[in-house]
Structures are given as C-alpha cells and as structure tokens.
Amino acid sequence: MTGTVQLRGGDPLFSGALDVAGRQVTVVGGSAEALGRISALLEVGARVVVVAPEVATSILDLSQRGLLVWHPRTLLAADVEAAALVIAATGSAESDAEVRVAAVGANRLVLGATAPETEAASERVEARPPTSATDGHPTTGPSARGLTSGSGDGVGHGVGTVVLVGGGPGDPGLLTVAGRDAIRTADVIVCDRLAPLATLQHARPGAEIIDVGKIPRGEFTPQERINALLVEHALRGRRVVRFKGGDNFVFGRGGEEWQACAAAGIPVEVIPGVTSAVAAPALAGIPLTHRALTQGFTVVSGHLPPGDPGSTLDWGALARTNTTLVIMMGVATLAAITTELVRQGLPPDTPAATVADAGMASMRSVRGTVSTIAALTASADLRPPAITVVGAVAGFQPDPSPIRR
C-alpha cells in the first residue's frame, strides 16, 4: 500500500499524487459525506485531523479509537498551516469555498469531500442495472447477485429497492465486485462504522450517505430507526444500499432489515460479504480448520456473558465440542467467557488469540491460552471490533514438512 492520495483537477490532463504518509491532513467538516475521504487517508497512513463542531458517529468512533484527532470547534489558521493537504467537507458549498480560500492563502493543496475519480467511475457503471432480463424490474428469485424478495407491487410506480451489502472485514479490497457496483449506483447509502468506508469515495455525485454507526456502549442508531430509514427512502423510489461490515446475515441484523422491507412491499437484494468470523483469523495467520487439528468451527456472539438471563448459549457444550470457537463481540465479556469455558472442562492451556481491527492498517493481535487471553487482550488495549479464537488452530505455526495424504 502506497502512502499517496491521487489528485485530479478540472483539466482532464492534470493529475498527480501527493505523499501523505505520516503527514497531517486537515479535514474540515464531520458529515457522513467525509467518511470515504477520511477512511482512504487513514489507509495510506496520513495523520488525519478533523475540525468540526459535530461529527458523524463513525468519525467519533475513529477518534475514540485513537485513529484520528477530532477538534470539536471551527477552523483555525493553525489547522491549515500544519497540514500537507486540506479537505473541504463541511456539507455547505459556501463554507467549503471559505475553506478553499483559507487553504490557498496558506499555499496548501485543497480537495473536496468526494474523490475526483467518482464521476468517471460512475460513468462506467449503469445508473440502475436491471436484475431481470425481461422487464428491468427487480427479480423475485435467485440471481447472480443473490436472492431478492418482495412481491414487486408498486415497482415502476415509485417503489425503489433495498440492497443489503456485506462489506467484508474493513479492507476495501475485500469488498466484492457486486458490492462495489452497488455502492456506485446507489441513491442512498446507509452505512455502519465497520464497513470499508473508503469505498464511499466512489458513490455517485449526489448520493445521500447516512451514517448509522453503533459504538459499543456508546452512541448508536436504534435498529428500528435503521429499518424505518430503509423503508422510507425505498418508498420514494430510491435505490438504497445498506452497507455493513462483514456479512449482513452474520450478527448483522440483515434478517430483521429484510423483514421490515418485505412487510412494506419493498424488493430486497442480498450481496453477501466476507464475514470477519473467518477473515479476521485468516488475516492473522490462523486457519479456522486444519485436518491435523480440528474438524470444524463454531461462531458465537459474546455480547452477553455466561449466566446472563438473556444468553441462550450452552457454554458447557461449547467447551466440549472439540471444534475451533470463534467469539465475536466479546471483548468486554472475555474474562467471564474464558473462565466459564475452563470451568466447564476446556483445558486451560488451550491456545487462544484475539484479533482487532482485522483488515485495517491498525490491525493488531495477541496470542496466549484460554486462561491468559483475556488479560493479554486487556493489557494490549485491544478494543472492538475484535474477535477471539479458542482452539488448537490459535497456536498454528506453518510447518515446512509435507503433509502425508
């Protein structure tokens, strides 16, 4: 990955690249429209400073995780002077113009909130590619894009569609081609903080971006409100993309969103994503299955600790499955979970690993045993998003000797 951001001016003959790795980029404005630029800058190693009285939830999350600096105020001259590049992303044409004047006056380069290549990318993709070869209406059965639902009543009479797009573990390169095309053709994108937000740079001009990120034990948009947003915009005849990290149907509430849309007569298209349950261990060099070590894996949510009245998991059975155990959303409850697994008979020296920020430049991991992994995770200050793997594969080391067949 290079540390450059691509530049393009109004003259099609002008193009260039600015090396921003390790250098400050000041983003003025904190709306959801700035998420694509900010995420792309973080990926290439820029030191991002956001200046805005208020910011979208996903930008707040990045700040709280120490991935960028947020100054909750108006722009100062020092913010511009310290920057190698300034991004005007206030959401107001008049305010953006003022930012540009300040940047030019300080001899700093300045760009807008969206990538300059967006328009060219949009021109290469049909505005609304039909999913039916007969009438251009969304299909009601399986297709190359995935499964769609809904009676289709009203399609062509003002009813749009909702596309559930799984974004993978965070790296835009792990987003599917179908998912990327859905982003490029959407009228409205309803996104979460864990989606590969750099992809939002490729949204078509005029697309509305709505941030409904949920910060663990912090700011969040209620699921009922998210469902309502999808229905509201689709009923206006818009193509709505619900953009999430991982896969919408693996602890992603995609099923609930589908039901809400179907109840309103809105066709739904599903584009699966690479779930972090599989991708995070793989990116950390941990195969969930290995024929010399285990014959399966089990994925569970750890958001509720053992003994919680709301938990339906049988931790004793999980301790005895002899499969790899993948614990998602379990950072806060990890000590309770691992203690219960050992109490239920899992050997305390069973290998374990925690992987945080999988697929991102900030990815980190620790390895230990089921009896030590909670303390190791805490001492390394690993925070959500993170998964923990418990089982022999967590101690996997590549062996150069051939495996006999």
- The residues that are catalytic are 192, 214, 329
Environment class of 175 (CB within 10 Å of its CB; exposed 0-12, middle 13-18, buried 19+)? buried
How many whole angstroms separate alpha carbon 179 and alpha carbon 164? 9
**Half-sphere exposure in the Cβ direction for 61 (13 Å, CA):** 26
**Total Cβ atoms within 10 A of residue 129:** 12
Q: State the DSSP H helix or E strand holding residue 377, giving kind and residue range, or none if neither.
A: helix 373-379
- Tokens 């229905």, located at residue: 231
Q: State the DSSP H helix or E strand holding residue 233, giving kind and residue range, or none if neither.
A: helix 223-234
Q: Which residues contact 317 (CB under 8 A, 6 or more apart)?
A: none
Q: Which amino acid is at 123?
A: E
Whether 61 contacts 19, CB under 8 Å: no
Q: Which residues contact 287 (CB under 8 A, 6 or more apart)?
A: 281, 393, 396
Whether 50 contacts 59, CB under 8 Å: yes
Which pair of structure tokens corresponds to residue 76? Answer: 């100062």
**Sign of CA pseudo-dihedral 18, 96, 28, 216:** negative
Q: Is 115 left (phi over 0), alpha (psi -120 to 50) or beta?
A: beta
**Running DSSP on this structure, what letter comes out for residue 402?**
P
